[in-house]
Structure 1
Amino acid sequence: MSQKKETAVLVLTLIITLGLVAGVYWWLNRSGINFGPVSNNQSQQIGANIENFAQVPNIPSGLFSYGGSTTWAPIRKEVDSAIQTVFPQFQLRYTNPTSGAPGSGSGIKMLLNNQLAFSQSSRSIKNEEYQQAQQRSFTLKEIPVAIDGIAIAVNPSLNIPGLTVAQVKEIYTGKITNWQQVGGPNLPIIPYSRRIEEGGTVEFFDENILGGEKFGENVQYIPTTTEALREVAKNTGGMYYASAPEVVGQCSVKSLPLGKTADKLVPPYQEPFVPLSECSQKRNQLNAAAFQSDQYPITRRLFVIVKQNGQTDQQAGEAYAKLLLTNQGQELISKAGFVRIR
């Protein structure tokens, strides 16, 4: 065979192969199999032009267990009962892990082990979790449904204008240990945190703020946000990070403005700040505009994690995400203290 004929055969073979690969990829996506995370634009399309729950088609019947992020608790409280009212056949049951604390990581682990139909997460799926799913002959899809941010809580008596993200990192890695180093009083800093295995918020903080550096030896570990905020309220030098809706409206602590630079500090609350002495009558509200525009420096997405296996579990997870992305679902997310994604 001449060299020209060999070249022509090779080119033809390559074209056929690429065509087959493209055809298989198109068929898999058409069948609902997804190869990665869903973008915000895709998430907007999922719920586009759907006003309320009743307009969402293909809601499955049955009892569906789900679990995951503790950050999601206020959303579950608002959304689940409203879904049950419209679709009583779509029964939802939040399920805690049999051992260890509930959280984004434990929820995804339970999903991988076929203990849940879908899960809720305050962080993205990790590469190793995608790989574990593939080893079990299915894939995972994350669908963003809300915007959240991390707020820094301090004692109300602490007089400080705010912190940069870099300063927050240096405090939690033990490089900054006194409030005087960041423009505050001569007072030791007592940084509180949950342990890294105890939730998606800590994992998000570790990866995105600490950059994988270890927590400093001065960090004190507290099992729950409620207990940590109680400690901050008692100790003038205390500080803690948590989901912004868990901090901003509190009456016993105050949240600090944060910035990428010291000259651009952005509060997680709507200005003007409501003094805590007035908190029982009027509470501080989330700075939704700053979260949506990414002006606030530490924002994240909340995800519904769906198992792509072509079975009822997949239908349940996708239906739940579609409900949350309707206008009614987004209004309930806002009512729960989080920021609409659309």
Structure 2
Amino acid sequence: MNKILGIIILGFLLPQLSLSQKIKGSDTVLPLSQKEAEVYMQKHPEATVTVTGGGSGVGIAALLEGTTDIAQSSRRIKFDEKNKLKNMDKEVVEVIVGYDALAVITHPSNPIKKLTREQLEGIFRGKIKNWKELGGEDLRIIPYSRETSSGTYEFFKESALRYKNYMNGIMSMPATGSVIQSISQTRGAIGYVGLAYVNPSVQAMELSFDGGKNYSNPLNTETSDVIYPIVRPLYFYYIQKEEAGIKPFLDYVLSDEGQQLVADLGFIKVK
């Protein structure tokens, strides 16, 4: 009788302590979530953690729809998104899992190595159209942006453009990988990506947000005395009622080992 009762109780607990979890959202957070999930599943063979991208807005929309357990996001959840969840009797929990430096990248042949915030604004608003205006080659500037559902798109608009609109007709890319590929193949191109995506096929620019007095490179965020100006938190969002099933994986991500993976991937640790 006790054995039967135990099986019945276990049957009620299993849906709450699900060993299968879905993570969806930000392309910036994607390599971090994938690596954390990979190592976690090696340590816990009974667990399955599925990770997909699509953009921060896509992840939060999936949380609203109930089609993901965790929304990974490179921006904070919006007021209206939070309200929609509240209206559905879903209390959302926010956890910072790391920090990311947003790198401004160009084709590696570009002789321009440094830009100020004002110059960035001029480029992405369409006011500066040729690299010779900045002391470079007589070459048309081709700015690449992420699509509007991307948290990276919104963060760059907030930090570099001071909430001003991007130029009309800007090249809008659906994923970070496509930004990297396009810029690596286009001599006049410029764009922005999460630091973990930077590779030798592109050049990361030094930036100044104090009018050219101090410049810093995103590749030196841990060692430079000058604070890199475009750094943002990376978030996991989940529904509070579902915390029991999510907590073991989340605890691993925030552990010393999980945070070392954050650093190994080129992100900045929470602690």
Q: TM-score, normalised by structure 1?
A: 0.69
Match of 1:298?
230
Which residue is 1:207 aligned to? 158
Task: Measure how far apart 1:132 and its partner are.
Answer: 0.8
Over 3 Å counting, the alpha-carbon distance change for 1:74 and 1:263 in structure 2 is same
Shift of 1:329: 0.3
- Tell me the CA shift for residue 240 of structure 1: 1.0
Whether 2:89 is the aligned partner of 1:132: answer no
Task: Tell me the equivalent position of 2:74.
Answer: 122
Candidates 41, 46, 49, aligned match of 1:92 = 49
Q: Is 1:154 aligned with 2:86? A: no
> Aligned letter for 2:117?
V
Q: Distance in 2 between matches of 1:256 and 1:317?
A: 38
Worse overlay, 231-240 or 134-143: 231-240
SS at match of 1:78: helix
CA-CA distance at 1:119 after TM superposition: 1.6
CA distance in 2, matches of 1:129, 1:257: 35
1:256 equivalenced with 2:185 (yes/no): no
Instruction: Indicate conservation of the 8 Å contact 1:117/1:314, yes or no.
Output: no
2:189 corresponds to: 238
Match of 2:217 in 1: 267
Task: Kindly name which structure, 1 or 2, has the bigger radius of gyration based on alpha carbons.
Answer: 1
The CA distance in 2 between the partners of 1:329 and 1:121, in whole Å, is 18
Q: What's the CA shift for 1:205?
A: 1.7
From 261, 264, 267, the equivalent of 1:335 is 264
- 8 Å Cα contact 1:149/1:300 also seen in 2: yes
Structure 2 Cα separation of the partners of residues 316 and 89 of structure 1: 13
The answer (yes or no) to whether the contact 1:118–1:316 under 8 Å persists in 2 is no
Matches within 5 A, 1:178-189: 178-189=130-141
Tell me the amino acid that sits aligned with residue 151 of structure 2. Answer: G
Gaps of 5+ in 2: 1-15
**What is the CA–CA distance in structure 2 between the aligned matches of 1:122 and 1:294, rounded to whole Å?**
23
Matches of 1:320 and 1:203, distance apart in 2 = 28
Query: Does the 8 A contact of 2:215 with 2:226 survive in 1?
Result: no
1:107 Cα offset (Å): 0.7
Q: Deviations over 1:14-48 (max 9, x none)?
A: xxxxxxxxxxxxxxxxxxxxxxxxxxxxxxxxxxx
User: CA–CA distance in 2 between the matches of 1:227 and 1:93?
Assistant: 22
Number of residue pairs the alignment of both structures matches: 255
Match status 1:72 vs 2:29: yes
In 2, the alpha carbon distance for the partners of 1:162 and 1:184 equals 11
Q: Secondary structure at the match of 1:196?
A: coil
| Structure 1 residues 158 and 95, CA gap change in structure 2 (3 angstroms) | closer
CA–CA distance in structure 2, aligned partners of residues 246 and 106 of structure 1: 20
What is the CA–CA distance in structure 2 between the aligned matches of 1:294 and 1:120, rounded to whole Å? 29
Distance change in 2, residues 1:133/1:157 (3 Å): same
SS where residue 206 of structure 1 aligns?
Answer: helix
- Comparing 183-192 with 235-244, greater Cα deviation is found at 183-192
User: Deviation per CA, 1:137-186, whole angstroms, max 9, x where unpaired?
Assistant: 12212111111011111112211231112221221111221223333233
Q: Distance in 2 between matches of 1:223 and 1:116?
A: 20
- The answer (yes or no) to whether the contact 1:61–1:91 under 8 Å persists in 2 is no
Number of the residue aligned with 2:252: 323
Give the alignment partner of residue 222 of structure 2, picking from 278, 284, 288. Answer: 288
Amino acid at match of 2:216: V
2:100 partner SS: strand
Quote the offset at 1:95 in angstroms. Answer: 5.0
What stretches of structure 1 of length at least 5 have no aligned partner?
A: 1-58, 97-101, 271-286
Distance, in Å, in 2 between the alignment partners of 1:207 and 1:133 is: 25
Could you say if the C-alpha distance between residues 119 and 266 of structure 1 is closer, same or farther in structure 2, counting changes exceeding 3 Å?
A: same
CA displacement 1:93-120 (0-9 Å, x = unmatched)? 2356xxxxx1111111111111112221
Contact 2:214–2:226 at 8 Å: present in 1 too?
no
In structure 2, distance between residues paired with 1:164 and 1:218: 23
